[in-house]
Amino acid sequence: MDFLTLFCIYVVVVFTCIALVCKYSGQQQTPFGRLYTTITEVVSPWIPQCIQNICQRSVHRLFHQRNNLFIYLHLILEVAVYGEFSYEVFGFCLEMDTRLIYACIPYALLVIKSCFFYLCCHSDPGTLTKKNHATLLKVYQYDDKLFQEGIVCPTCQLTKPARSKHCRLCNRCVQRYDHHCVWVNNCIGAQNTRYFLLYLLSVCAIAGDMALLTADMLFHAVLRSGLMHTHYIDEQGQQQSAGITFVIQHLFMTFPRIVFMLGFLIFVFFLLAGYSMFHCYLALVNQTSNEWFKRKGYSCQHCHPVPGHDCPTAYSPFRGFYHRGFLKNLGEVFWPLYPIQKKDN
């Protein structure tokens, strides 16, 4: 019961952290962001003002200024999971005749993920400068709906190209701006969206593969112990056959760290799987997260449609303004557009 209580506390803390990230990552429209806002409004009258000020300053430094805290947290969690997997699960897998190549897949995926993670952290997302300003203005046409021609960034003092946005955390305008990711401490834009997408998919593959190997190890441990064929005496003194509840309690008591890790891996897998599917969808329809959330403020009332007819230029959330076909959209993500400079004769 103590371990179950600890696990519940852990789940609450994780959901709180996710809510904070969603709330202060510039995507307040998410369900977690709205939930956090509601909870804050209810709880704030009961919290002293001095504590609220300290929390606000801390949150501002954490989410509104560039820092490497989440990179360090990412590495700590990675070391903890791989350490536990290597210390306990890997050896069990080999004892249960799991092929070595299958047991080593998480380590191969770790190398691949680390490469994409490094590229996400250190690659230029497509920073707009005075030197490349004239060139980037030609990459995308203005749609006159989400992106208007002639808008000047008040900070950079440069005309904003279509699909660009100024990141307040990095203090720069980014071409084909998607969002600022606190986990890599960098913007996601035209030049590194491909690395970010592959990074997400590789993390999902790691979590899913390690979860399958861990679950398979626990399953074989139960089969070898013969728990499913045992009996126990309940509180009334009656003999009962061991069911799934009894097996789960036994696993919690016998392999607490492994079960804890399995729960974490399953949670991370489904969380990132949904997030990865969202970004894959955006890549297929040639949209960005910024455009996805920005389009909610756009409606047909801006188009002045003819009465009795649908507006032909109305924005569709399932097909972006820059949709060019699924294959071309994916090609644009992995090979970003760049205007060809004509040579003078």
DSSP structure class, residue 295: G
Active site residue 8: no
Provide the CA 126 distance to its chain's centre, in angstroms: 20
Phi-psi region of 203 (alpha: psi -120 to 50; beta: other; left: phi over 0): alpha
Query: Among positive and negative, which fits the CA dihedral 198, 200, 202, 205?
Result: negative
d(CA 188, CA 178): 5
Of residues 22, 181, 187, 204, which has the active-site annotation?
A: 181
Buried b (16+ CB within 10 A) or exposed e, 94-103: eeeebeeeeb
Q: Which residue has the tokens 């949709």?
A: 323
CA distance 230 to 247: 10
* Residues with active-site annotation: 181
